[in-house]
Structure 1
């Protein structure tokens, strides 16, 4: 019986021609005098093949990493900003029988929700469901309590996950194959479709539609991977579109890229998006009023291993690393660097303190 989860991976690993984006390989100076590429250092790197799919940062400064490959496991990185003692790396558990973990979000302090794909087969049937889990660190737990929240049987490619500020019982989960966003009540397990708009759909000659999702300033932001575009839509605190407020999909930025994966939004509204296939981190100043968006590559290049297969990004939460963007990678498994080179997935700390548009 053919495993649709492996088919999903094959779709994500399909070779794609690179588009031209100004490279930050050679030292560049932006219009505001910022030296590019930005300073960076590797926090930790895992054995090959490792695909780190997503990242979340705990209030205590620890990084949580969800693994798509080689297995569905959750890892922690303590002391990521400590350059003297170095980080402490721990495997927090295997999420069986999931084939891989995807997005991760924190709806309330120290309670994290993760999405995964679970494949089952018999001689007559094969099914894939999106299984949603919680990893609960509350009460000072050093190891999380892991529980299943719900199965979403119609999901095809679960991907990004986001909390909804002001509502600690709801998370939103992107389905990249169906081109929609599910809403899951983590207290009851109930789930339904929260948002489904054409801008989330898989475009022609692509396999992945809506990818990374985050709620910021009352809007749901998302990347459409194949369209290389960032969109947003005003939503209510229950995750539904704010139709009574006249909510409409807005194009935040259309980028000259092959693929857009996940992203982070800094306090000043800058969007930091990773591109996976072409190994780059792009800073985006969104469209405002009559002003079109501005973007610049701040790290990485097609021919570099610096961010080989960047998958997600999140800012530090401590006093010493609020300006640090932690970027995860899949080691170039989606598209080997220079056509042949791959490596183990890693976490890269990018210093954004000197950047401005």
Structure 2
């Protein structure tokens, strides 16, 4: 999560990027197993833009293809049908009680999602600990609006003030269990949404922001993925993560309960002017796609090779790979956040973008994480 108040402390000196172009070119060294090195072009289409200064924080794709977006807009989650004509519109899907911000989102069963929300002090980038909760959004009734239920509160003794990215641990014995990123303290928290139990399962220095960090956010986006990355093509379950303050992406081998099986692997670093937010991971190969503040999408292979895929965006915050196509959806904070950083008014609100490879290439689509 990289919100506009926090960015004011970090990116105030950065120049505004030009508005996204219709066609962006990037050279990919290696992406996925069936994509040879070649020059690819990406078509970037703006599907929706908030008319105000709403910051879009995270994204998930429903089974019907509709897009869910979490925001810093009064605890609201919005839904967009990207195929709607003549133009897609954002509609309210959920409003969390006693919350002004919603961060991570993860699907735990068909059309049932877990989100994190509460009362966020955006200047300090900390939640009121007593307000911080995990909510279940149930869309199984077929209605546009979800049935909202609180499923867990954060125990006071854990001292959690910033839960960020969320990912599901979907196995036969752990249905309803999610992992959440404790960005300030460098921890991974397990939340059992069936019982409400909360515990710290991973803590490592590489997950924290580090001493003297410009921003108080270490581990940010997280994704559980099964990757066949060894010579024997054995599946290993990894927790992929970004660390905003350390400008890096890494991964940790985990068991079915979310506990560490090995040391943290450092995959790649960005420049000190680039701040990784959320990410998407292609299951078969471990190819990662990172939303990088202030303006780009970065591709990183499982062996650490990286390439800029798209530039010129306005504060990209999260990415979702469409499992049925070769498309990528990206949400942004919008240019209004950047204008405020530089003491100006105006700018655009958060956006939903469709990124499509053209010219014969493709983005690797996500393989759903199956139970078992």
The TM-score normalised by the length of structure 1 is 0.81
> In 1, distance between residues paired with 2:120 and 2:86?
41
Q: Which of residues 296, 302, 305 is equivalent to 1:286?
A: 302
Q: Aligned-pair distance for 1:342?
A: 3.4
Instruction: Describe how 1:138-157 pairs up with structure 2 within 5 A.
Output: 138-152=140-154, 153=156, 154-157=159-162
In structure 1, the partner of 2:75 is: 72
CA RMSD for the aligned pairs? 2.8
Distance 1:71 1:338, change over 3 A: closer
Once residues 97 and 135 of structure 2 are traced to their aligned partners in structure 1, the CA distance between those partners, rounded to angstroms, is 11
Equivalent residue in structure 1 for 2:291, among 271, 274, 293: 274
1:239 CA displacement: 1.4
Tell me the equivalent position of 1:253: 268
Distance 1:213 1:58 in 2: 19
Q: Distance in 2 between matches of 1:193 and 1:238?
A: 12
Is 1:273–1:283's contact at 8 Å kept on the other side of the alignment? yes
- The 5-angstrom pairing of residues 1-357 of structure 1 reads 10-16=5-11, 27=25, 29-30=27-28, 32-36=37-41, 38-68=42-72, 70-78=73-81, 80=82, 82=83, 85-118=86-119, 127-129=128-130, 130-152=132-154, 153=156, 154-166=159-171, 167-203=174-210, 204-207=212-215, 208-217=217-226, 218-242=237-261, 247-256=262-271, 257-267=273-283, 268-277=285-294, 279-287=295-303, 293-300=304-311, 304=312, 307-318=313-324, 322-332=325-335, 335-336=338-339, 339=342, 342-352=347-357, 354-355=361-362
Counterpart position of 2:124: none
1:311 CA drift (Å)? 0.5
Secondary structure class of the residue paired with 2:53: coil
1:336 Cα offset (Å): 4.1
- In 2: Cα distance, 1:11 partner to 1:86 partner: 32
Could you give the per-residue CA deviations for residues 39-69 of structure 1, whole angstroms, max 9, x where no partner exists? Answer: 110111112211000000011111101111x
For the structure 1 residues 344 and 60, does the alpha-carbon distance in structure 2 shift closer, same or farther, using more than 3 Å as the test? Answer: same
Check the 8 A contact 2:186/2:203 in 1, yes or no.
yes
List gaps (5 residues or longer) in structure 2. 30-36, 122-126, 227-236, 365-372
Secondary structure in structure 1 of the residue aligned to 2:91:
strand
Cα 1:175–1:332 shift into 2, 3 Å: farther
Secondary structure in 2 matching 1:189: coil
Aligned length: 320
CA apart distance, 1:156: 1.4
Shift in alpha-carbon separation, 1:286–1:338, aligned structure 2, 3 A: farther
Measured in 2, the distance between the counterparts of 1:95 and 1:286 equals 37
Quick one: structure 1 residues 169 and 14, their matched pair in 2 at CA, closer, same or farther if it must change by over 3 Å?
same
Mapped partners of 1:43, 1:89: distance in 2 = 10
Q: Decide whether the 8 Å contact of 1:119 with 1:128 is kept in 2.
A: no
Rate the CA distance shift 1:53–1:26 in 2: closer, same or farther, 3 A: closer
